[in-house]
Copies of this chain bind each other. A is one copy, B any other.
Amino acid sequence: MQRIDLFVSEREVDRLCRAIREAGAPGWSVMRHVTGSGEGGEISEAMDFSGLGANAHIVVFCEVTQLEPLRQQIHPILGRFGGVGFVSTAERF
């Protein structure tokens, strides 16, 4: 199986989860309140009160065959709003 790790702004979580569902992934998990740093600078939780939020970490375990549709759904969103994604291998436990 494949494991995809996405880090995006909390504002984009709903959009991304819709994309993941449409790509046909069997499931996903979301962890909010993630802070961090990347090309777009540092993200803290300080603006959380404003509804801007921090980052979220989304994990998707899926079959290799689903990688390509997921990529097609997700890359445009990462391109437009920022965020990064990584993939590695895993097995069902």
Q: Using CB atoms and an 8 Å cutoff, list the residues of chain A in contact with chain B.
A: 1, 3-7, 17, 21, 26-39, 55, 57, 59, 61, 71, 74, 84-93
Contacts and interface: CB of A to CB of B under 8 A. Distances in A.
A30 B33 CA distance: 9
A59 B84 CA distance: 13
B33 A37 contact: no
Contacts of A27: 36-39, 84
B55 A37 contact: no
B87 A93 contact: yes
Contacts of A74: 93
Contact of A34 (B1, B4, B29, B92): B29
